[in-house]
Structure 1
Amino acid sequence: MNTLNKVKNAMFPPPAYSEDGRAQWPSRTSFLLASMGGAMGFGNMLRYPSQVYNNSGLQWFIPYLIAITCLAIPVLILEISIGQAHRSGTVNAFNALDKRLRGVGLGMVFTGYIVCVYYVPMLSWVWVYFRSSFQSSPFAWTGRAEDFFYNDVVINRESIPGVISGGSVQSYSSYPNTGVSGELIGWTILSWLIVWLCIHKGVSITGRVVYLTIGLPIIMTIILLGRGVSLENAGRGIKLYFGEWHSEKLASGQIWQDATGQVFYSTGVGFGYFTAYASYNSQFASAVQDSLIICTSNALYEVTAAFIAFGIVGYLDMMPSDSTEPLGTYSLGFLTYPVAIDQMPGAPFFAIIFFLTLILLGISSSYAMLDGLVTIICDSEYGRRYKHVTVASVCTVVSCLMSFMFCTEFGYDLLNATDRWANNIALLFAAFCECYGSTTVYRWADVAGQVGLPSFAVYNSGYLGGLVLGCAIAHSVSPSAGAGVGFGIFIVCTITALLLAKDPDSRAPRFFGKNKFLNRAWWLFFYSGNQLARDLNVTVATGKAWSIPPVWGVLLRYVAAPILGIIFSFSYPSFTPDRSGSLEIWGFTVAHLVLLTIIAAFLLPRFLDVLVPVERRAEGDRAYAPQVLLGAEDLRVSNGIETGTSSGLDSGSDKAEHEYESKSEK
């Protein structure tokens, strides 16, 4: 019995706990690998090479690197910092910012869960290829790649298309074939079982599993890389990737949209699991440094792995031209790669390596997204009454049953529709609210108290109104007209807000404190984002940990949020020609449940009280305390350590702190 217990504890070790009683990662490396595992998936191995192929040339890296710097890294810093500082999943973490942001946290996890439910059935496709790789060439797909994928793997059956006439829908599409693939069901169950094994004991087991689910794919990618670049004529494809320059493509909005979308989707921000994972990290770890490591590692992996795809592009002589159809994620992963592997010496070995890599990458992404949901349930008022293994088990079983709908004869079309709108609507809207809300709603009472509520309302009406109307006119009239209207509304409302504003009695720092209009501008434009950075730095910039820089809030509010809003605006025009598709309507509707959740929780925060423990609900009610560091003194006393400070726009007012402490005592 003793031996069995030792084996059990070695395989499924009990979790370690931090001083506040929360489970914690076995090591910082475990946290980083788990976070990278959530980011690394099909988006890196398949989507990235297809996007680069469609925008071939060295010029791709200009918008790509800009998007990483201005979008991915700032948002990731936000997600990791609030999870780490507030020791909870997304709902409680965003509640700690403001109670009206609870819905943003739930919306992020809801989006990740939607993706997880159809992501695992995609793994069943890979399992079929993996199983078929254990035979000498010819493979099951030899000479019939498309037929094998569409008929044998995803069993896609023809639908009866809908009809749009005279601008209205005459009939909706229908799917007479509703059979289920027993093999896909079996592989889906196996995939969910593996996901459950990776999370059922919490971070104690996840922190050990990641060495396999991330380490092994990296090793296998290196093997595939060596084979891909050594193929005959591989240099032609690699030149297309890294040796050509097409400056005219930078004048097109397509490459910028593709690069921004790729960085956003492949990094994994907006799904909520980074916040969940960070909540099990050391409270005083360097969130900024960890964010840079995760983003950089993710980018290096996909940039390096793309050499495999472009070696194959050269080998198959797939040079793009004006008449070439854009290369899609599925066509690359399930048509192009298998065809190329079939023609290689030692094909079975490389087929096994390639599809096993995809399986492990998919598993690591799947359990990260499900873990986001498990964490907010375990942190909730009622969920914390149950063991982690119970919550994880129930979530896994329910998710598994739901995912069976994607194993049907219409499952491929259903998966495409759900994927399209979950990413283009739910994910983008949740991420926009995340960026804008955290730098506007956070401690808004301080801003309203300093410049007046009318000024605060007019400025933010101009920000949102300019963005919404500008995008609407850009799509209906022209991009230039939309830009003119959008910026015009924003400028007029900004000037009006500055004129309406009363003079703040708390002086803005440095340059902005020189005159009354600059002082008003600082409170309206920068205060919330800057104060959030200062408050988070009390925890995440302790000791030698890196501080969140002053420019961070500016990037979130004035770069990341508008970019996400503009990309989001493309979703609705693209739905119009497909509105007769019954499955498109399904995906469109499911995605809007995320929007409704965020909006409803903003208007009625008590709607989500069930997910917030009683003792933490008051955290979302921020008292009026302009420029006062929240919790700084309590942190110093309880930990007996020196806390870090941020630089740049930081400005603490001793008078304000004294007034705030006096109010608290009263």
Structure 2
Amino acid sequence: MNVLRKIGNLIASPPQKAEDGRDQWPSRTAYLLASCGGAVGMGNMLRYPSQVYNDNGLQWFVPFLMAVFFLAIPAMALEIAAGNAYRGGTVVAYNSISRRMKGIGFSLNYVGFVVVIYFLPILSWAMVYFQKTFTNNLPWAGNTENRFMYEAVGAVNPDTSGRWVVYPGVSLDGRLVGWNAFTWFTVWPCMLRGVGLTGRVVYFTMGLPVIMGIIRIGRGVSLPNASEGIKLYFASWHSSKLAGTRIWRDAVSQVFFSTGVVPGLPPPWSLFASSFRFLTAPSSVTSSWMESTDGSTTSASFSSFGPNALLLGIIVGHTGAPWAGAVAGFGLYFICLTASLILGKAPDAHGAPRLMSKNKLISAFYYVALYSGNQLRHNLNSVIGNGKNWSLPFLWAPMLRYVSGPVLAIIFSLAYPSFEEVKNDPLYILGFIIAHLLLVWRVIGFVFPRWFNVFIIPERRDNWKQPYAPNVLRGTTEGEEATKADAGMSSGDTSMSNKGVKI
């Protein structure tokens, strides 16, 4: 046994330990490769070419790059920073921000479970093809679609003659079952020793797709008439496509599919990274660009009227007239905003930007609309922005709240007209229900946050209970004194009414 243990330690030595006892990535390179591994996969190597083919032309990059910069990078920064600063997975990290955000963290894990259900069967289809490539005459030559549908996948044509689509045949294919089991097994040894072994495995799992991609590019440009295909990709422009909704929906969905953020991978990745050598320029830019997306539609906004206005506008717009939805959504937003400004009271503590502290209404607007995200940025930067690490910029929180969230809600609503065409298909109905459970988990987490305590160890369930005060870093001594003063627990001159720390 000692010999086997020595061999195991030689192949995969135990990972280094952080101050809090957690494992650490063996190197920054290993972390970056693991982060980028979510991008270099089927989403980019298989799905992306098909999306570009359907929406060919330079105009494709307009919505695609907008999704990367306005949706992907801000949300990626949130998840990486939260996981690293609060040293936990998705549920723990979001619970540390606010106990009513546990549902968001759980919904990200839920997406991961849903994805693997259909992702691994796709890998088994690919393995069947890989198995057949060792023959001289490829069996699918000249009849690719039928070979794929009926031999690799084992599909059975549905009956569409009635009101409802019926799938008459269900069976198990021994090859696909075997390849599924093999795929699950290969995942297990890659995680057996934690990030110590995973940090070595990624050199192969990340390096091989890169090499294959280079080979595919070389092979593609060497084919006859390759220049015509390149022109179709880069040298053509179709303005009419930008006027439709398909290209925008395809671009955003592609950005979603190309990332590991949707199933909540960045927080677990980053919690194994040291806070003091983490968000440097290479790591933040590379991981954000390679992953380039996020499915988390909320930021550090604790006001509820913004999301409610979006939801109301979408519901009214799809059940009635589009203009009515716009009026309902924006109307509710401005009504609630006006009520907040009139009824709310801005804190007496100093710390608001100078331009927004001269007028009472403007100061109240800052605390209602901008303060929570800006304060979260300061709290995260106090942990991750040390040394040579990059800090989150001041535009990060407003962009996440007022650009990323509304845009994702609009893109989400564009899926409803497409569902009308397939609402008699049980598979699409099942997918529709599974997708909307995401919203259910988030609502439950907001209304009944204790229901998700089962996913958090008892020692960390109260992480959200940290001392706080306006314009004071969360968890600091000043915040603790201010909390006691507000609760009437202190005596003497301990009031923080005019002792806000400007940050």
* Fold in common (TM above 0.5): yes
65 and 583 in structure 1: CA distance in 2 versus 1, 3 angstrom threshold? closer
- Whether the aligned pair in 1 keeps the contact of 2:34 and 2:199 (CA below 8 Å) is yes
Q: Are 1:561 and 2:405 an aligned pair?
A: yes
Deviation of residue 193 (structure 1)?
Answer: 1.0
CA contact (8 A) 2:466 2:474 kept: no
Residues in 2 aligned to 1:249 and 1:578: alpha-carbon distance in whole angstroms: 23
**1:658 Cα deviation from its structure 2 partner:** 5.6
Output the CA distance in 1 between the equivalents of 2:244 and 2:432. 28
Separation in 2, partners of 1:140, 1:249: 37
Give the CA deviation at 1:98: 1.2
Trace 1:508-587 onto structure 2 (pairs within 5 A). 508-587=352-431
Structure 1 CA distance, aligned partners of 2:11 and 2:445?
Answer: 41
Give distance in 2, aligned partners of 1:2 and 1:491: 70
Instruction: Kindly report the root-mean-square deviation, in angstroms, between the aligned alpha carbons of the 2 structures.
Output: 2.4
- 1:236–1:595 distance in 2 versus 1, CA, 3 Å: same
Q: Per the alignment, do residues 121 and 588 of structure 1 end up closer, same or farther by CA in structure 2, a change over 3 Å counting?
A: same
One-letter identity of the residue aligned with 2:448:
L
Alignment of 1:312-351 (within 5 A): none
Which residue is 2:288 aligned to? Answer: 295
Residue pair 2:374, 2:394 contacting (<8 A) in 1 also: yes
Q: Distance in 1 between matches of 2:251 and 2:321?
A: 23
Give the number of equivalent residue pairs.
Answer: 487
Instruction: Letter of the 1:297 partner, please give it.
Output: M
The alpha-carbon deviation at position 493 of structure 1 amounts to 2.9
Mapped partners of 2:183, 2:397: distance in 1: 40
The residue type paired with residue 523 of structure 1 is Y
Are the structure 2 counterparts of residues 80 and 13 from structure 1 closer, same or farther at C-alpha, using a change threshold of 3 Å? same
**2:278 corresponding residue in structure 1:** 286
Superposed, 1:137-148 pairs within 5 Å as: 138-148=137-147
Q: 1:477 to 1:240 in 2, by over 3 A?
A: farther
Q: CA deviation at 1:173?
A: 3.5
564, 588, 596: which is aligned to 2:432? 588
State the AA in 2 paired with 1:296. W
TM-superposed CA distance for 1:563, in Å, is: 1.1
Q: Following the alignment from structure 1 to structure 2, what is the Cα–Cα distance between the partners of residues 18 and 623?
A: 25
Relative to 1, partners in 2 of residues 1:662 and 1:488: Cα closer, same or farther, differing over 3 Å? closer
Question: Against the structure 1 CA distance between its residues 570 and 253, is the aligned structure 2 distance closer, same or farther, given a 3 Å change threshold?
Answer: closer
C-alpha separation in 1, matches of 2:238 and 2:270: 41
Residue 521 of structure 1 aligns with an amino acid whose one-letter code is: F
**Superposition deviation, residue 660 in structure 1:** 4.3
State yes or no: 1:502 paired with 2:502. no
How far, CA to CA, are the matches of 1:30 and 1:194 in structure 2? Answer: 19
CA pair 574-208 structure 1, distance change in 2 beyond 3 A? same
Q: CA deviation at 1:586?
A: 2.7
Match for residue 274 of structure 1? 266
User: Is this contact kept in 2: 1:76–1:291, CA < 8 A?
Assistant: no
Taking the aligned partners of 2:309 and 2:443, their CA distance within structure 1 comes to 19
Corresponding residue for residue 27 of structure 1:
27
Query: Normalization by structure 2: what TM-score?
Result: 0.90
The structure richer in helix per residue is: 1
Alpha-carbon distance in 1 for matches of 2:2, 2:375: 54
Cα distance, 1:298–1:242 mapped onto 2, change above 3 Å:
farther
- 1:604 and 1:296 map into 2 onto residues whose CA distance is 36
Map 1:179-578 → 2, pairs under 5 A? 179-287=171-279, 289=281, 290-298=283-291, 431-432=296-297, 435=298, 438-441=299-302, 460-461=304-305, 463-507=306-350, 508-578=352-422
Residue 155 of structure 2 corresponds to 156
Q: Distance in 2 between matches of 1:591 and 1:256?
A: 19
Match of 2:498 in 1: none
State the shift of 1:577 in Å: 3.8
Write the distance in 2 (CA, Å) between the matches of 1:567 and 1:188.
33
Segments of structure 1 that go 5 or more residues without pairing to the other structure are: 165-171, 303-426, 442-455, 634-653
Give the aligned residue type for 1:492. Answer: I
Cα separation, 2, equivalents of 1:597 and 1:659 = 34
Asked whether the equivalents of residues 87 and 283 of structure 1 are also in contact (C-alpha less than 8 Å), the reply is no
Deviations 1:333-392 (A, max 9, x none): xxxxxxxxxxxxxxxxxxxxxxxxxxxxxxxxxxxxxxxxxxxxxxxxxxxxxxxxxxxx
Residues 163 and 519 (structure 1 numbering): CA distance in 2 closer, same or farther, change over 3 Å? farther
Q: Offset of 1:50 from its aligned partner? A: 1.9
Classify the secondary structure of the residue corresponding to 2:363: helix
Distance 2:324 2:484 in 1: 51
- How far apart are residue 7 of structure 1 and its match? 2.2
**1:236 CA displacement:** 0.3
Q: Conserved in 2, the CA contact under 8 Å of 1:628 and 1:657? A: no
Deviation at 1:3, TM superposition (A): 4.8
Deviations 1:38-74 (CA, angstroms, capped at 9, x unpaired): 2322110122222222222122222222211111001
SS across alignment from 1:17: coil
Q: Which residue of 2 aligns with 1:383?
A: none
- Using the alignment, how far apart are the partners of 1:615 and 1:61 within structure 2? 47
Task: Please tell me whether the aligned partners of residues 73 and 291 of structure 1 are also in contact (alpha carbons under 8 angstroms).
Answer: no
* Aligned-pair CA distance for 1:195: 1.1
Q: Which has the larger displacement, 246-255 or 93-102?
A: 246-255
The answer to whether the 8 Å contact 1:466/1:489 transfers is: yes
Distance 1:202 1:621, change over 3 A: same
TM-superposed CA distance for 1:26, in Å, is 0.6
Aligned amino acid, residue 470 of structure 1: G
Aligned to 1:60: 60
Q: Structure 2 CA distance, aligned partners of 1:662 and 1:285?
A: 37
The equivalent of 1:12 in structure 2 is 12
Residue identity opposite 1:108 in structure 2: L
Distance in 2 (CA, whole Å) between partners of 1:162 and 1:519 is 63
- Whether the 8 Å contact between 2:88 and 2:268 is mirrored in structure 1 is yes
Name 1:336's counterpart in structure 2: none
**Matched-pair contact (CA < 8 Å) for 1:13–1:205:** yes
Work out the percentage of aligned pairs sharing the same amino acid. Answer: 44
User: Contact between 1:288 and 1:546, CA under 8 Å: does it hold in 2?
Assistant: yes
Q: Distance in 2 between matches of 1:595 and 1:102?
A: 13
Does 1:659 pair with 2:468? no
- Secondary structure at the counterpart of residue 64 of structure 2: helix
Match runs of 1:56-205 below 5 Å: 56-136=56-136, 138-161=137-160, 163-164=162-163, 172-205=164-197
Give the counterpart letter for 1:6 in structure 2.
K
| TM-superposition CA deviations, 1:82-141 (whole Å, max 9, x none) | 1101111111111111111112111101111110122111101000110111121x2110
- Once residues 593 and 66 of structure 1 are traced to their aligned partners in structure 2, the CA distance between those partners, rounded to angstroms, is 28
- Among 627, 631, 639, the alignment partner of 2:471 is 627
Amino acid at match of 1:149: F
Q: Distance in 1 between matches of 2:280 and 2:100?
A: 26
TM-score by length of 1: 0.69
Point out the more displaced range, 80-89 or 59-68: 59-68
Letter in 2 for 1:505: D
For 2:284, the aligned partner's letter is: S
Aligned AA (1:526):
L
SS of residue paired to 2:374: helix
Q: Taking structure 1 as reference, are residues 29 and 125 closer, same or farther at Cα in structure 2, changes over 3 Å only?
A: same
C-alpha displacement at 1:223, in angstroms?
1.5
Partner amino acid, structure 2, of 1:46: L
1:510 positional shift: 2.2
Distance 1:230 1:480, change over 3 A: farther
Per-residue Cα deviation, 1:565-601 (whole angstroms, up to 9, x for no partner)? 1122233443344333222333333334433333223
**Residue deviations 1:14-39 (CA, integer Å, cap 9, x gap):** 23211110011111111111111123
